[in-house]
Amino acid sequence: MGRVSLRFVLGRVLAALPVLAGVVVLTFVLMRLLPADPAAFYATGPAMGPAEVEALRRQLGLDRTVAEQLLIYLRDLGTGNLGRSMVTGQPVTEDLALRLPASVELTIAGFLLALLVALPLGILAATRPDSAIDHLTRVIATTGVSMPTFVTGLVLIFVFYFLLGWAPDPTSRYDLFLPQSPRLTGFLTLDTLVDGNWEQFGAVAARLVLPAATMALFAIAPLARMTRASMLAALQGDFVRTARALGLSPAKVLLTYALRNALIPVVTMMGMVLSYMLGANVLVEKVFAWPGIGSYALDALVASDYAPVQGFVLVVAAIFVVLNLVVDLVYAAVDPRVGLG
């Protein structure tokens, strides 16, 4: 079994390499097609004339053809060099490594919150069709899909920070006036726990609630709908009727037989939602001043800074590939009939 699993993993990784290569090339070409000249953007000031702009273009390598620029970028990418950000002046790899934990922490918090709400809602709605809880699930799902995330974030800030005063100011990940914990992992909740800095941990957790809730509201909709539909189909199966006829308890029938058989499409949806949340948290990070890779890439895009945007897309694509692999492995754990070969 271990050998088969290793062969399966290696096969999926090798199959993902052309996808990542296509993402790299497509992103590179699209960035060069934008109607913007980074050299003209950064060559500001009274001393900057056409000659200075052209010199900066040569320094950035923008005077070469797109094909030549792509070959140079691929050569650097092979050595782990994603370029240097013109906004921060730092290598893109360092900027992404510094900001990626913030985005992952926010995404995981929102995803777990969505699971805690969506799975029970979907199960209850499936066991009580056309009831009040079923209609509530449909309303929540429709609202979560129809409202843009940045609108949800602004509404939550207005209500819980401006009107009620329950939430802290959405300006940072931690309280600037409290002692800071040393950076160990970049996940502030974990770093403050390891450091025993309970006061700062409370401040970090409080600042995480609203942005995580904003992302969770969007994720609840597809998860709850898929859970409800899968559970409805499973509860109508012959194996459920047989289990009930054998006198098994309703809880055992629901959780052991129906839920486990309904989890396959739900796990698929989990992987898709989690991947989308990590790439689509750009606006949420901007609304809450969250220093993640999404806001970093958006600032770079506004400033016509190519390298950070290309690095952001590559990192998100790689994470998407990894999550797809994890979903396939979870299939085998949920349903032994699903092979890894």
Residues 171 and 302 occupy one common structural domain = yes
pLDDT value of position 332 = 65
- Residues 276, 313, single domain; the answer is yes
Sorting pLDDT into bands at 50, 70 and 90, what band is 49?
low
Residue 84 within any structural domain of the chain: no
How does residue 112 score in pLDDT terms, banded at 50, 70 and 90? very high
Angle at the Cα of 140 (from 135 to 144), degrees rounded to 5?
Answer: 150
Which alpha helices (H) appear in the chain, and where do they start and end? 2-33, 38-42, 50-60, 66-78, 92-127, 132-146, 149-156, 188-195, 198-235, 238-245, 250-252, 259-279, 282-287, 293-302, 306-334
If one compares 329 and 183, the residue with the highest pLDDT of the two is 183
Please check whether residue 195 is in contact with residue 129, taking contact to mean a CB–CB distance below 8 angstroms.
no
DSSP assignment of 34-84 equals: SS--HHHHH--STT--HHHHHHHHHHHTTTS-HHHHHHHHHHHHHTT---B
SS (H, E, C) 219-263: HHHHHHHHHHHHHHHHHCCHHHHHHHHCCCCHHHHHHHHHHHHHH
Percentage of the residues of the chain whose pLDDT score is greater than 90: 13
Q: What is the mean pLDDT of residues 69-88?
A: 84
Confidence of residue 82 (pLDDT cuts 50, 70, 90): confident
Domain-embedded: residue 62: yes
pLDDT bracket for residue 110 (50, 70, 90): very high
Are residue 35 and residue 175 in the same domain, yes or no?
no
pLDDT digit string (tens) for 295-304? Answer: 888 888 888 7
Instruction: Say how many C-beta atoms besides its own lie within 10 A of residue 135's C-beta.
Output: 11
CB distance 225 to 141 below 8 Å: yes
139 within domain boundaries = yes
pLDDT (tens digit per residue) in 131-157: 888 888 888 777 777 777 778 888 899
Higher pLDDT, 2 or 128: 128
Least confident of 42-56, 157-171, 174-188: 42-56
Q: What is the mean pLDDT of residues 67-87?
A: 84
45, 20, 29, 17: which is closest to 306 by C-alpha?
29
Number of structural domains (the chain) is: 2
Same domain, yes or no: 104 and 68: no
Distance separating alpha carbons of residues 156 and 244, to the nearest angstrom: 45
| 68 & 194 share domain | no
> What is the spatial distance between Cα 163 and Cα 17, in angstroms, rounded to a whole number?
50
Residue type, 319: I
Return mean pLDDT, the chain.
82
339 or 72: which leads in pLDDT: 72
User: In this structure, is residue 194 part of a structural domain?
Assistant: yes
Mean pLDDT value across residues 214-235: 86
Residues 63 and 128 in one domain: no
> Which stretch of 38-52, 66-80, 101-115, 131-145 has the lowest confidence by average pLDDT?
38-52
Split at pLDDT 50, 70, 90, the class of 206 is very high
One domain for residues 159 and 188: yes
CA–CA dist 87, 318 (Å, integer): 24
Beta bridge partners of 91: 84
Report if residue 91 sits inside a domain. no
Mean pLDDT of 270-290: 83
* 306 shares a domain with 170: yes
**Overall average pLDDT of the 255-271 stretch:** 80
Average pLDDT over residues 36-54: 62
- Mean pLDDT calculated for residue range 212-236: 87
Global confidence as pTM: 0.83
CATH, residue 256 = 1.10.3720.10
pLDDT reading at 114 higher than 80 = yes
Q: Judge contact between 144 and 217, C-beta under 8 A.
A: yes
Verify that 239 and 185 share a domain, yes or no.
yes
State the pLDDT at residue 322.
83
How confident is the model over 1-12, as a mean pLDDT? 63
Tell me: do 168 and 226 sit in the same domain.
yes
Cβ(223)–Cβ(266) below 8 Å: yes
Q: Token pair of 38, please?
A: 């980074």
pLDDT score of 192: 92
| Amino acid letter, 94 | E
Q: Is 72 in the same domain as 107?
A: no
Token duo for residue 175: 């309280």
Long-range contacts formed by 82-90: CB under 8 A, 24+ apart:
82/307, 82/310, 82/311, 82/314, 83/306, 83/307, 83/308, 83/310, 83/311, 84/307, 85/300, 85/305, 85/307, 85/308, 86/38, 86/42, 86/303, 86/305, 86/307, 87/299, 87/300, 87/303, 87/305, 87/308
- Domain identity same for 12 and 154: no
First-to-final CA distance of the chain: 10
Mean pLDDT, rounded, for 4-20: 75
Q: Is residue 339 part of a domain?
A: no
Domain that holds residue 14: 2-78
When pLDDT is cut at 50, 70 and 90, the band that residue 260 belongs to is confident
Domain contains 259: yes
Residue 83 domain-assigned (yes or no) = no
